[in-house]
Structure 1
Amino acid sequence: MPGSALTIAVPRGALFGDTLDLLDRLGLDTAEVRGNDRKLLFGDVGIVTMRPSDVPTYVEHGAADIGITGKDVLLEAPDRDVYELLDLGFGGCEMVVAARAGDDVLGESLRRLGRVRVATKYPLIAARHFSETGRQAEIVTVKGSVELAPLTGLVDVIVDLTATGKTLAENGLVVVEPIVTCTARLVANPVAHKLKAAEIDSLVERIRATA
């Protein structure tokens, strides 16, 4: 957050293209960023690219004034001290509970064991969902292809993000419960939101005007 330039943390991955398209509409030429440069300065705006899960960390600690990341990232990191300013509307995915097609493993496990075993990359979201729906769950955190977990018998169900359902279907899985819809969000560092209020508020209004 040093200096007068407004620094934006931009997520690589699924949200990258839509985020850069938004910045282009705001008048920034993102051609060099699309070439994978990690940090660039355009007049009074700096852009830093990173993993979506790192955006709240950079924004919280002031390495970026504002950032864009998915709602799933924010739900999985509720202790991050950032302000959620705007739902940007793109990058829509559904966080769901999924199981093998044709199975009632969710109900069967609860009846037989009193709990369900769940594989996920989002342990906090998964634990919160099952707790809020009054069911006991054993959460197994995985980093790779979570869709394989129920096929190998590791777990009964998974909690994961899906945009089209294609990957689930390719692995013989179906959605059994929706949890929450996740879209891209604009977040701000609390201190920057005060010290650079005019710049950030102006950017928010420009984003709203492009919607």
Structure 2
Amino acid sequence: MRPLRIALTKGRLEKDTVGLFEQMGKDCEALHNKGRRLILPVGDGNLEAVLCKAADVITYVEHGVCDLGVVGRDTILEYPGSFYEVMDLGFGRCRFALAGPKDKDFYSGYREKTIATKYPNVARAFFESKAMDVNVIKIEGSVELAPLLGLSDAIVDIVETGSTLKENGLQVIEEITPISARLIVNTASMKLRKEEIEALLSQMEAALSEKGR
């Protein structure tokens, strides 16, 4: 049987997860010296890390080529799928927020508002919960540009410190939901490899508990 395979979101969440693995006592030399490799052994070889983009973590876990995945809650909300969300790992903390120009009252008037965002599903769900009709425009790059150029009335985006908003004359209008890294598990793997997965989850919980002291 192949090692348990865990998909990691490249970048910050990858580094934080490697730190967690090391807190669990696992050898992560291959991850520190990965070069261009994307599939790497962790610890004694019973675990294998797959490095990929956030949305692909969900795809690989949902289709069962990876048993587990570490991905931000922002991606889970934007790309919902069929899997178990089993643990809040506590790192990668930030929040979804509605933001717009400082000198404008976003909720005033009756004109349909235009929202720019990298997360159209999250934005639509937020405004549907308010029974508001909005025009959502998907932006791939710096979403802060949209209201500055007059493309949108506001944005829905991830906010950490708020410094980028401030530097561009924008402010948080309303916080939508907190975000952090989550551990997800393939539904079939949870049944077929239950003991292995539960053992790994216990190790993770112990390491997170120790780190939080």
Q: What letter matches 1:102 in structure 2?
A: D
CA deviation map 1:143-168 (0-9, x unaligned):
11101000000000000001111111
Report the equivalent of 1:98.
Answer: 99
CA distance in 2, matches of 1:35, 1:161: 30
Structure 1 residues 194-203 or 19-28, which shifts more?
Answer: 19-28
Report the equivalent of 1:77.
Answer: 79
State the SS of the aligned residue for 1:29: coil
CA distance in 2, matches of 1:162, 1:35: 31
Structure 1 residues 19-28 or 30-39, which shifts more?
Answer: 30-39
State the SS of the aligned residue for 1:107: coil
Report the equivalent of 1:132.
Answer: 129
Report the equivalent of 1:23.
Answer: 21
Question: After the TM superposition, which residues 41-190 of structure 1 pair with which residues of structure 2 at under 5 Å, given as runs?
Answer: 41-42=41-42, 43-78=45-80, 80-104=81-105, 106-108=106-108, 111-113=109-111, 115-190=112-187
State the SS of the aligned residue for 2:99: strand
Kept in 2: contact 1:13–1:52 (CA 8 A): no
Deviation (angstroms), 1:53 = 1.7
Identity of aligned residues (%): 39
**Dislocated runs of 4+, deviation >4 Å:** none
Kept in 2: contact 1:9–1:48 (CA 8 A): yes
Report the equivalent of 2:40.
Answer: 40
Q: What letter matches 2:9 in structure 1?
A: P
Deviation (angstroms), 1:32 = 2.6
Deviation (angstroms), 1:29 = 2.2
Deviation (angstroms), 1:16 = 2.0
CA distance in 2, matches of 1:139, 1:45: 41
Q: How many residues align?
A: 204
Structure 1 residues 145-154 or 29-38, which shifts more?
Answer: 29-38
- Gaps of at least 5 residues in structure 2 are 209-213
Change (3 A) 1:34 1:101: farther
Q: What letter matches 1:140 in structure 2?
A: I
Return the TM-score normalized by structure 2: 0.92
CA deviation map 1:157-200 (0-9, x unaligned):
00000111111112111000000001000000001111110011
Q: C-alpha root-mean-square deviation of aligned residues, in Å?
A: 1.2
Q: What letter matches 1:98 in structure 2?
A: A
Kept in 1: contact 2:101–2:170 (CA 8 A): yes
CA distance in 2, matches of 1:120, 1:4: 40
Structure 1 residues 24-33 or 152-161, which shifts more?
Answer: 24-33
CA distance in 2, matches of 1:9, 1:28: 16
Deviation (angstroms), 1:134 = 1.7
Deviation (angstroms), 1:64 = 0.6
Structure 1 residues 165-174 or 142-151, which shifts more?
Answer: 165-174
Kept in 1: contact 2:5–2:68 (CA 8 A): yes
State the SS of the aligned residue for 2:2: coil
Deviation (angstroms), 1:77 = 1.2
- Gaps of at least 5 residues in structure 1 are none
